[in-house]
Amino acid sequence: KNQVEQSPQSLIILEGKNCTLQCNYTVSPFSNLRWYKQDTGRGPVSLTIMTFSENTKSNGRYTATLDADTKQSSLHITASQLSDSASYICVVRGYSSASKIIFGSGTRLSIRP
Amino acid sequence: SAVISQKPSRDICQRGTSLTIQCQVDSQVTMMFWYRQQPGQSLTLIATANQGSEATYESGFVIDKFPISRPNLTFSTLTVSNMSPEDSSIYLCSVEVQRESEQYFGPGTRLTVT
């Protein structure tokens, strides 16, 4: 079973609408949780990074939340734009320096005009 | 930050041949990583390449199939040897900038094996 599960697998919304992507993880203890945006044909680009003590972090129209008790994170996108069409990947790193970085399978987001 | 370039950006190869992918970083970094991303899948770590030491391979990946070089702190290569159609994937180079607690990725190399 993957230690980082994302939902939904894919999502289509209209331009200008908001959406929320979910990430549940079992990695424990963990060092940090990141959200990446991956455009088609490109490498992932970091949007936010949160440690276990942080509850929320914003980057423009992107706001990530973290509940370390329930091991859940969400990425909220406000006033979506066509350029937001991409895959969004949740990544969790374990606590020790030898811990692996676990990637979620991503949510494929499509913004329709 | 770190800017990463990869060559080639894409290639179509025949089975049984080998392809070497180059990764160049615009700053010196200790840790470099090679990932594979199969269609519709998440990233899977192939190996960690530190300068001056042998690469460390993850379970399911072996040096004979994926030899890696790391001659200096800004460059690495990954070779996909004796390719089969199952090797068709995107291969990504990544570096970790520890002072930023940030991981950067290259644009990827899209490999198709026929």
The residue of chain A with its CA nearest to that of B89 is: A41
| CA proximity to B22, closest of B80, B82, B65, B98 | B80
pLDDT, tens digit, for every residue of A14-34? 999 999 999 999 988 888 899
pLDDT, tens digit, for every residue of A21-67? 999 999 888 888 999 999 988 899 999 999 988 999 999 999 999 99
Q: Which residues of B touch A41 (CB under 8 A)?
A: 107-108, 110
Cβ contact (<8 Å) for A43 and B103?
no
DSSP 8-state symbol, B112 = E
Nearest to B42 among A43, A49, A89 (CB): A89
Residues B18/B77, Cβ–Cβ less than 8 Å:
no
CB atoms within 10 A of CB B114: 9
Per the listing, tokens 């350029």 go with A83
The residue type at B57: Y
Nearest to A49 among B4, B41, B101 (CB): B101
| CA proximity to B36, closest of B114, B100, B113 | B113
Q: How far is B66 from chain A (nearest CA, A)?
A: 20
The residues, any chain, with a CB within 8 Å of residue B53's CB and separated by 6 or more, are: none
Nearest to A42 among B42, B103, B107 (CB): B107
3-state secondary structure of A30: strand
Residue A30 confidence (pLDDT): 82
Q: Which residues of A touch B101 (CB under 8 A)?
A: 32, 49
Interval B12-18 mean pLDDT? 97
Q: How confident is the model at residue A98 (pLDDT cuts 50, 70, 90)?
A: low
Q: Which residues of B touch A44 (CB under 8 A)?
A: 43, 92, 105
The residues, any chain, with a CB within 8 Å of residue B21's CB and separated by 6 or more, are: B6, B7, B8, B77, B78, B79, B80, B91, B93, B109, B111
Dihedrals phi, psi of B13, to nearest 5 degrees: -125, 155
pLDDT, tens digit, for every residue of B79-106? 999 999 999 999 999 998 877 778 899 9
